[in-house]
Structure 1
């Protein structure tokens, strides 16, 4: 499953014919197959069936709030598993968040979109505070509707940066944007590992970035011992000037790939998708990771080798079985032609051998189990006392006896005795039909 990652423009930019979205197309979630900018109708479609579209909300558009939920607030369906629409549980949670955040927000809560952290349910059960992402609802909904109208319906909405531990375990400094509008972003900031985003300036750099990198505010920093500074190419020179050392280049496309691999999904509450869509999305994401992700390469090779070994083993076993069956058939044909040299063409060796044996018996005047006398003797020995047939017919190894009316128990005993003598029997139309049992 391939993924189209669309980076939304920062608010207050609204959708329109002239608005271009930055995008990244990937097959495994780690490597970009294609990236660039295009209007919504011109965005490439995911290459494989079942591919998903992921929207990335820029860091400038999000506000991160830390809240403590009151006891007794229902948490079923948190973090992307909320029911589609505003059900009673989701509406109640939305009202609780509005009350908790009302005094911290500049806009009216009704105009904002909320999303809780993926581990919100576990944090609430443990009595710990949880992160809530806040952004402008009308802005987000307008872009999602524009992408859907262009045939690029968004399956997940992820933040460009999210609170929590970074890959290095320390605070990470990002410089992004353009030379005219540079931004400083610090991930894993402070004891709560929050996200700090503010316009880049010498003052903000020395006040926030230098301490995050292990130096004193306004002082020097041990570059070799601190966390790396990741900068977009457009602002790398500015970051190097402020740092006084080279920085690590990190493109917007690579940042979008990292954001799409995160666990966050901002499509909650009134933007939540249905349970079926979420299940398909999760299964598709898991299948995509198993099939394309580099960390699963060894497992894919192992599964391929195992499947190949099983296929080779089955083919070898089938070849041995066919060889053994052919040898047995050849032995039966050899036994037939050795015992009866007059048989020149072998079509069905067992049937032909039985026919030749029958001819030998007839020539020798011997009787077989299919003849009338042995069959009648076996029936006479097996019939219950007092049961005598009123009519007897014989034709081609089959004996018909009429006028018998054995009970259920007597029928069972009759079948058992005749089976021991090598005969099958059945009652049909008031007649007992007896014939020699077929040999395996």
Structure 2
């Protein structure tokens, strides 16, 4: 699925606000990265594409809470009651008025354990989303730049961001709860991470227990990060962060910013289909499906060819029987009809009669008529006999039709007469 991924600015939107964006055709490779005002942002390149807004790490606060037991928290249960419960739990943890903040629960959150809650300024998020919608770029999903949870390396990962004048460090996979921490870029940050002091109660760990530390940095602060932290860092661009964020399961558009259930279902189906069509981990499955489809097409074509050959053989056999039995037939158009006609000619030449002739039809009608019933007139054409003037009740008529059916004739009342035809005669 084609996706436009854009970073929300740290301030309220205005006429001169620009958005850093990444455009991708498959969710894994960026085809364009730039900045532009909302009205000049590109559109997804394919029908059904989505617009994903990324909330910067410094705009979010992460809180770990234990919800009251029995409180439903699924996507269909984001009610004012749940909102009030979160306000009560977080009132003493946040600096701003809880009523002015936006809350979003972690994906798959359950009410029987601690859950992560993303917190940001509600007015800031809503106005940015409204500005994008007014510019024709309706956001279908809102994701965090960094989210709690296990990292690819299995240990804490550090990413240096910002500018040389205002650098900062984002630590993911930190502590026992695998949280997200934002702090200034200082030598002390690396020391605290190595000691396991952040998010784990300050309990130190040995070098053997500590997995290798992953350090990344934006190009603008890479050199500063290497000098400050004292080791080499890997470059990690904003475009790469945007792609990583868009692939997460998070959607911060909850409560009053939530999409409808059908929209969520369509978006999830589109994301799943995009992953199946483009994600590297599904490459083997895609090849297998393609091989299976090709094998079925080849098999169906082979089966159809065999059926056509069998039908052609049967038709050739019927034509051969006709020409061998009646050598005078030179051109075969409809073998069964031509064979029936030739047989009729032979019977006529030999003086024989068939079921279509007058005598057998009269004999069958006379044997089937009730006693005392005689027609007043008879009309005959080859294969068809019409008897007029028969006065029969419904029971007699039903018995007559049944007896004629047994004799191999079709019969039906028609315009006050009885019409007889041979079986198979239209």
Q: Normalising by structure 2, report the TM-score.
A: 0.90
Q: 1:319 aligns with which of 305, 308, 322?
A: 305
Determine the structure 2 residue equivalent to 1:52.
50
The answer to whether the Cα contact below 8 Å between 2:175 and 2:196 also exists between their aligned partners in 1 is no
The answer to whether the Cα contact below 8 Å between 1:22 and 1:35 also exists between their aligned partners in 2 is yes
SS at match of 1:438: coil
Determine the structure 1 residue equivalent to 2:4.
4
Cα distance, 1:357–1:217 mapped onto 2, change above 3 Å: closer
Unpaired stretches in structure 2, ≥5 consecutive residues: none
CA apart distance, 1:144: 0.9
Determine the structure 2 residue equivalent to 1:174.
159
Determine the structure 1 residue equivalent to 2:356.
370
Q: 2:332 aligns with which of 341, 346, 350?
A: 346
Question: What is the RMSD of the two structures over their aligned residues, measured on CA atoms?
Answer: 2.8
1:181-214: CA deviations, max 9, x gaps? 2111111211221111112122333334553799
1:290-345: CA deviations, max 9, x gaps? 21111221122122122112222222222222222222222222322333233333
The answer to whether the Cα contact below 8 Å between 1:6 and 1:24 also exists between their aligned partners in 2 is yes
1:225-244 to structure 2, matched below 5 A, reads 225-244=211-230
In 2: Cα distance, 1:434 partner to 1:158 partner: 81
Determine the structure 1 residue equivalent to 2:413.
427
Q: Greater shift after overlay, 128-137 or 224-233?
A: 224-233
Q: 1:64 aligns with which of 62, 65, 73?
A: 62
The answer to whether the Cα contact below 8 Å between 1:173 and 1:209 also exists between their aligned partners in 2 is no
Cα distance, 1:182–1:323 mapped onto 2, change above 3 Å: same
In 2: Cα distance, 1:205 partner to 1:112 partner: 31
Is 1:288 paired with 2:286?
no
Determine the structure 2 residue equivalent to 1:109.
98
Unpaired stretches in structure 1, ≥5 consecutive residues: 83-88
Is 1:183 paired with 2:183?
no
1:33-432 to structure 2, matched below 5 A, reads 33-75=31-73, 77-78=74-75, 81=76, 90-120=79-109, 123-124=110-111, 127-208=112-193, 211=196, 225-383=211-369, 389-402=375-388, 403=390, 405=392, 407=394, 411=398, 414-432=400-418
CA apart distance, 1:408: 5.6
The answer to whether the Cα contact below 8 Å between 2:153 and 2:214 also exists between their aligned partners in 1 is no
In 2: Cα distance, 1:246 partner to 1:224 partner: 18
Aligned residues: 423
In 2: Cα distance, 1:101 partner to 1:388 partner: 104
In 1: Cα distance, 2:82 partner to 2:265 partner: 23
In 2: Cα distance, 1:209 partner to 1:36 partner: 36
Cα distance, 1:387–1:97 mapped onto 2, change above 3 Å: farther
In 1: Cα distance, 2:401 partner to 2:275 partner: 64
1:269-290: CA deviations, max 9, x gaps? 1111122222221121122112
CA apart distance, 1:70: 1.8
The answer to whether the Cα contact below 8 Å between 1:3 and 1:54 also exists between their aligned partners in 2 is yes
CA apart distance, 1:385: 5.9
In 1: Cα distance, 2:243 partner to 2:402 partner: 77
RCO higher in 1 or 2 (8 Å CA, sep ≥ 6)? Answer: 1
